[in-house]
């Protein structure tokens, strides 16, 4: 449901959030190692006297070479690197310089630290599909109709396993034509599916079988705040069950992506993130499992680029809150069976 969630996600993430501030709002350096920070890669470091590291000489030499390239040479080089080749000559120069600057800074970090720092052994990517109308009224209750999970091993940077279950809605029992067309989920599919509490129990069983929260440290990752703060929150109230503890904190990849690559939120749509990383969408858009796979590809590339993804949002008393980058993070708790609301 990426297109249906875009506007609301953007509005949600730009609202003030309680209990800690969004790190992007204060331009705090993150992924700091050996004195090289994101601000070094993209900010005016000269004014701070941070050009003492030898890597900056290499960057200056690369910039000089790029300045001498003509437009055709710039396009060929960008094409080789699977980067966007459209734009004016100055735009192409800037794009190529930014690429080499980031690569050389990341290489310096890896050289000094020998491996990428990760907070979790596994990341569970979730991207729900839910009931919807073409023009949802303000009081419309979205119900989850697809619950996918993609399990990423942060050490091997591979998708280790996937989970997918469809869900039978209780209120909007008849899917709209728009919903069917958007998601590809048919009325027959949801009619034959289990209700949400049963599906959530299957999710818990699957996570437990992977020994997550017991043997291995893990975190949930989503494309924005909407999936957990809205879809799951509303669904748990509809199904009269408590919000699961393992999903109360998560990594909002849009925040992490924007902070790490120093990009505005308007450039953190799924399709845009893939394109900027030189990748194309694989599968069927708005299929929850395919969306989750593509989000996982972005997460793996970010880890490869040197960004240690970590929890940056949480739910508390039914409210969405930011998690400061300085907060202690022990990963999600071991999943437990869903319980009824009192």
Burial 8-36 (b: 16+ CB within 10 A, else e): ebbebbeeebeebebbbeeebebbebeeb
Report d(CA 39, CA 41) in Å as an integer. Answer: 5
155 is catalytic: no
List all residues 6 or more positions away from 45 whose beta carbon is below 8 Å from its beta carbon. 39, 51, 56
Cα four-point dihedral sign 305, 4, 219, 323: positive
List all residues 6 or more positions away from 208 whose beta carbon is below 8 Å from its beta carbon. 214, 334, 335
The active-site residue out of 129, 143, 146, 165 is 129
Strand partners, 144: 130
Hey, which bits of 82-198 come out as E strands?
A: 122-126, 129-130, 144-153, 158-166
The active-site residue out of 142, 143, 146, 286 is 286
286 is catalytic: yes
HSE-up of 277 (CA within 13 Å, CB side)?
26
- Residue 255, both tokens: 């925040």
Backbone angles phi, psi at 216, to 5 degrees: -120, 145
Three-point CA angle 137, 138, 140, nearest 5°? 65
Residues with catalytic roles: 129, 286
């Amino acid at each position: 449901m990426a297109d249906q969630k875009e506007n609301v996600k953007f509005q949600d993430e730009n609202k003030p959030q309680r209990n800690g501030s969004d790190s992007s709002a204060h331009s705090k350096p993150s992924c700091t190692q050996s004195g090289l920070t994101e601000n070094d890669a993209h900010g005016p470091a000269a004014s701070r006297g941070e050009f003492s590291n030898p890597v900056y000489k290499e960057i200056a030499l690369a910039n000089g070479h790029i300045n001498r390239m003509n437009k055709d040479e710039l396009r060929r080089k960008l094409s080789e690197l699977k980067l966007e080749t459209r734009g004016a000559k100055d735009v192409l120069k800037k794009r190529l310089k930014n690429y080499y600057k980031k690569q050389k800074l990341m290489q310096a970090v890896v050289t000094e630290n020998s491996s990428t720092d990760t907070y979790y052994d596994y990341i569970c990517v979730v991207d729900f599909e839910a009931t919807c109308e073409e023009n949802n009224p303000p009081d419309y209750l979205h119900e989850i109709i697809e619950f996918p999970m993609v399990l990423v091993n942060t050490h091997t940077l591979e998708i280790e396993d996937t989970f997918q279950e469809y869900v039978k809605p209780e209120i909007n029992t008849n899917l709209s034509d728009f919903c069917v067309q958007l998601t590809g989920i048919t009325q027959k599919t949801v009619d034959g599916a289990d209700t949400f509490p049963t599906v959530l129990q299957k999710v818990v069983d699957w996570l437990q079988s992977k020994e997550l929260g017991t043997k291995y440290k893990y975190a949930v990752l989503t494309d924005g705040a909407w999936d957990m703060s809205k879809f799951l929150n509303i669904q748990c109230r509809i199904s009269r069950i408590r919000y699961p503890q393992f999903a109360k904190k998560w990594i909002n990849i849009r925040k992490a992506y924007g902070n790490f690559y120093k990009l505005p939120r308007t450039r953190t749509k799924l399709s845009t993130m893939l394109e900027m990383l030189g990748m194309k969408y694989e599968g069927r858009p708005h299929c929850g499992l395919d969306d989750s796979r593509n989000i996982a590809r972005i997460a793996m590339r970010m880890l490869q680029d040197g960004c240690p993804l970590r929890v940056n949002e949480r739910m508390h008393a039914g409210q969405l809150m930011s998690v400061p980058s300085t907060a202690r993070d022990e990963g999600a708790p071991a999943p437990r069976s869903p319980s009824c609301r009192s």
